[in-house]
Amino acid sequence: MADQKRVLILATNGFEQSELLGPKQALEDAGFSTTVASPEGGTIKGWNHSDWGQTVPVDALLSDVSEVDFDALLLPGGQMNPDILRMNDDAVDLVEAFNDAGKPIAAICHGPWLMVEADIVEGRTVTGWPSIRTDLANAGADVVDREVAIDGNFITSRKPDDIPAFSKALIAALA
Residues 6+ positions from 66 with CB-CB distance below 8 Å: 94, 97
DSSP character for 71?
S
Residue 1: exposure state from Cβ atoms within 10 A (0-12, 13-18, ≥19): exposed
Whether 51 is a known active-site residue: answer no
Catalytic pick among 24, 86, 110, 159: 110
Residues 6+ positions from 149 with CB-CB distance below 8 Å: 125, 126, 127, 155, 156, 157
SS3 144: coil
Identify the helix (H) or strand (E) that includes residue 96.
helix 89-100
Under 8 Å between Cβ of 127 and 166: no
Catalytic pick among 91, 109, 150, 174: 109
Per-residue exposure over 150-162, b if at least 16 CB sit within 10 Å of its own CB, e if not: bbebbbbbbbbeb
Whether 109 is a known active-site residue: answer yes
Q: How far apart are CA 152 and CA 103, in angstroms?
A: 9
Q: Which residues are designated catalytic?
A: 109-110
